[in-house]
Structures are given as C-alpha cells and as structure tokens.
Structure 1
Amino acid sequence: MAYAHPLLLLLMVVAVPPSAASWPPSPAYFPSTKFRSMRFTQGFRNLWGPQHQSLDQHALTIWLDRTSGSGFKSVRPFRSGYFGASIKLQAGYTAGVITAFYLSNSEAHPGYHDEVDIEFLGTTFGKPYVLQTNVYIRGSGDGRIIGREMKFHLWFDPTEHFHHYAILWTPTEIIFLVDDVPIRRYPRKSAATFPMRPMWVYGSIWDASSWATEDGKYKADYRYQPFVAQYTNFKATGCTAYSPLRCGPVSASPNPSGGLTRQQYWVMRWVQKRYMIYNYCKDYRRDHSLTPECWRR
C-alpha cells in the first residue's frame, strides 16, 4: 500500500463523470459463479481490532474510529487462486479512510514482501470513491516503495449495494475483477516483476490520511465516525502453500490454461478507456527502470 505521487493529479486520465456513467458490456463469462462461497469463520480469522469487528450471519462488519481500525486474515496461505468478497462501503465523508481486500506475505517477509491490492480510497461529500489496484514485488517496505498503481472510478455507487471484487492470481498473471468484469490484467513478464511466494488473504479498514484522498489533502474527520465497511460472500479457492505440486491454478476464463477471452479483453479495454483515472506505466515522471514491465518492446 503506497502513497500517491505529489504530481499524480496532473497525470490522471480523463474518466467519465459519475452522472454520465454507463454499465460495461457483458464479459460473457462469470468466474465468481464457478467458485463456492464460504462463511467468514470457515476461512478467516480476526487479525487486529477485534472490538471493531462484528459478524452477523454471513456478513462481517468492520469499522474505524478514533481508537482503532480492524483487519482480518485467511487461515491458510495460498500460492495461487481466486480470492473474492462482496463489499459495501460507507456513504458520506470518508476521506483518509482505506477499505481494503488484498493478498500479502508481509508477516512472513517483513520489509521484503509481496502484495496484490484492491483498495477503496475514501472521499469527500459529492465525489466518487476511487478503486486502486496495486502490485508489489519483494520489498515494498524497505524504504524504496515501488507501487504499480492503476486507479479507477466505478460505474456504480459502491455504497448502495454489495458488489463483488476479486483477484485471480496464477503463476502467469494477476487479474482484477469487479462484478466479474475484468478491469486489469498484470501478466508475468519476468521473475523480478511478479509475486511468486505464498500469500494470505486480508481485509482491513484503517486511517491513511497522509495519502489516501487527493494526495493527503483531505484527512479522516472523526466527527463522522465510525467509518464502516461490510464484507460477505467470501471466496478463496486455489492451491494453498501446502497443496501437492500437481495442484493446478484456477482460471478467470473458460480456458483452463488461463488468460482472458476476446470478449473479456474487449470489456476490460472498454472499462479502462472510460473509468481508469491513473496508470503507473503512463506516469512519465516515474523512474521506470524500477518497473521494467512498462518498457515498450
């Protein structure tokens, strides 16, 4: 999880304003329906802030106030798989607040860890949430933060209903999906630019006032506490760190070997053209010797 570059806003891609939003075309394949849902207690446990966590039937509520946030973690580490949850965010003023669903091995490799993020960046009144996707490889906490951020507005209001957000991670690619619509594909181009060590699945809500909303311009305002997020419909299917080597990765498309169909690619490009507001590879103020996957061949 990284702070944004001070000149980020100068490099944002123009996106469709929420008032003119339209729903993406159908991807024609719905990977979330291929994987069984689980109850929170079947695959996860509290990690921190247990007093800020409530379980009601199949839905988990976590919240942030002036005293603490909260987080949870999968019981098992995975080396590949499909990881999803249906999430509902809080409306109103949520600046400075991060609601996250992500993969990480930070506890196993402190200061030298891998991470794959879905983060919702809190906002101010009348402005839409930003969904940030990010990928770190071996060392996002060692003083040289190398993020690979892509940011999106959504084609719906994520505070009105639950929507399903997922990460598909295999040895060859990472795909981010929203309601089964692929919004980003991060292929493995080299061992140095792709996470391969086992990771756990996490969720959290916390105060990131220093960078989360418009580069830290707007901070968390605890007059509006508590800040609440709800999670349900948990999915974590794939090869655990303890699975036999014959365990094969799952796919986000009808092709068992992975990748996306032509229709899925087309829908992904459609979303990126209309709703992506930042692409790290297009940020020419960054040192792309640290992100060689951005180099044109």
Structure 2
Amino acid sequence: MHKPVFITFFNIWSQYAFNHLVLFVSLLIVCSSLPSLFCLPFMAPIFSLFLSFVMLSWSIAQGQGPPSPGYSPSTSVRTVKFDQVFRNLWGPQHQRADQDSITIWLDKTSGSGFKSIQPYQSGYFGAAMKLQPGYTAGVITSFYLSNNEDHPGNHDEIDIEFLGTTPDELYTLQTNVYIKGSGDGNIIGREMKFHLWFDPTQDFHNYAALWTPSEIM
C-alpha cells in the first residue's frame, strides 16, 4: 500500500506530500443503470439522510506511536474545531455544524461530503456516527481514506461503508482495503460485509480503522 494518506471523504493532495491518504465522508446514490442525479427523484419516499460525526479523532504517527487495541483516543488527542481540520467537498448547503458534531443530509437536489485539510501517513482514524432510519435503499454512507489525487487510477483506499436498507432490515456494514486501483482485473483488497447486530440509527456508535506501517485493523 502506498505510504502516506489523507483523511477525507473524497480525494488527495500533491505528489510532494508523499502518498498521504485523505479521509472522506460522503453520501452516494447507487442505481444500476441511471446516473445518480436521475435516480434521486424516483427514490420513495423523499427523505433526508442525516449523518452526525462526534469527536472525529485520530493520532498521527509523527507525534506518537500507533494505539494499542485498548487505546482511548480522547485521552491523548486534543479537541479541535471542525473547520480547523476539515473542508467542504461538495454540498455545503447540506451540512450543519453544531458545537461537537456535524450533520450532513441527502435530498432530491444533492448529498454532501467533506475531507481533511491535511494528509496523514498513518494513525488511528475514527468517528462516532448515527445513521438515518427508514427507507435508505440505494444510498451509501461512507467514511474512508484515499490517495486518489496522488495516484489516479492506481490509488489505495481504506473504506468503512454503510449500505442503505429498508425499514424492515438493518444496515449492512462493508469494509474494504483497496490496493493500487486493481484496474487490471487482479483485485488486490479485502472486502468484508457485516450484518450489524445493533441498530446504528438509534444512537451514536464508534467506528474506526487503525493503520500502521505494518498492518490495518
């Protein structure tokens, strides 16, 4: 896997910043045959998809070693304001920042996303998230790291994705480590799906990835 990365919810920086990954948070529409903007008006019922992030926290390898499995980020990472570390990616009118969280939503006109201002080489990346209940089929809510801007067509990703569902089914959590674009058909990655045993729409739950020079957890 390429070395450095950015935290965002879309893409990355210049080649002079090593291969940093960016952290992305985004709302995506998935339809089998139509572009996503054409799909939106036909999604029933009309809804807004809300995603709140509380205490987006991480440790950077430059300042300290990677956390152990029992590591508690809140004891080692200072609290910062959202606009100090993230910037809008698209849909700023579909974002609302509160004192300790940000809410993003989706309607017929647009979704929303944001990304980290700085790239990161390794660390612990996590967020407390609460998803929208009800009919969300066709929507993907994602939290991922990528270096696509540095390596278009040959990039790496660490993905945490929530696949939309119907009111009678729970969300599916999908994770993936995606290596060097896999554009030649020889997919290099590790995709896993988890049928959650709890309801992620009822409360905030912590989701995180630990990325060290030798492993991803």
- Shorter-chain TM-score bucket reads 0.5 to 0.7
Higher relative contact order (CA 8 A, sep 6+): 1
**What is residue 169 of structure 1 aligned with on the other side?**
211
Within the candidate set 130, 136, 152, 2:172 is matched to 130
Q: TM-score, normalised by structure 2?
A: 0.63
1:29 aligns with 2:73: no
> C-alpha offsets along residues 192-234 of structure 1, whole Å, 9 cap, x if unaligned?
xxxxxxxxxxxxxxxxxxxxxxxxxxxxxxxxxxxxxxxxxxx
Q: Distance in 2 between matches of 1:132 and 1:124?
A: 17
Distance 1:60 1:162, change over 3 A: same
Q: Distance in 2 between matches of 1:35 and 1:110?
A: 34
Q: What CA RMSD, in Å, does the superposition of the two structures yield over aligned residues?
A: 2.4
**What is residue 190 of structure 2 aligned with on the other side?**
148
> C-alpha offsets along residues 229-279 of structure 1, whole Å, 9 cap, x if unaligned?
xxxxxxxxxxxxxxxxxxxxxxxxxxxxxxxxxxxxxxxxxxxxxxxxxxx
Q: Which amino acid in the other structure matches residue 91 of structure 2?
A: G
- Aligned-pair identity in percent equals 66
User: More helix by proportion, 1 or 2?
Assistant: 1
**What is residue 44 of structure 1 aligned with on the other side?**
86
1:65 aligns with 2:107: yes
Q: How many residues align?
A: 150
Distance 1:121 1:33, change over 3 A: same
Distance 1:54 1:145, change over 3 A: farther
Q: TM-score, normalised by structure 1?
A: 0.47
Q: Distance in 2 between matches of 1:156 and 1:30?
A: 23
Distance 1:90 1:101, change over 3 A: same
1:76 aligns with 2:118: yes
**What is residue 113 of structure 1 aligned with on the other side?**
155
Q: Which amino acid in the other structure matches residue 149 of structure 2?
A: E
Unmatched runs of 5 consecutive residues or more in structure 1? 4-27, 176-297
**What is residue 200 of structure 2 aligned with on the other side?**
158
Could you say which structure has the larger radius of gyration?
Answer: 1
Distance 1:70 1:143, change over 3 A: farther
Unmatched runs of 5 consecutive residues or more in structure 2? 1-9, 11-29, 31-68
Within the candidate set 97, 114, 128, 1:86 is matched to 128
Distance 1:33 1:171, change over 3 A: same
Q: CA deviation at 1:35?
A: 3.9
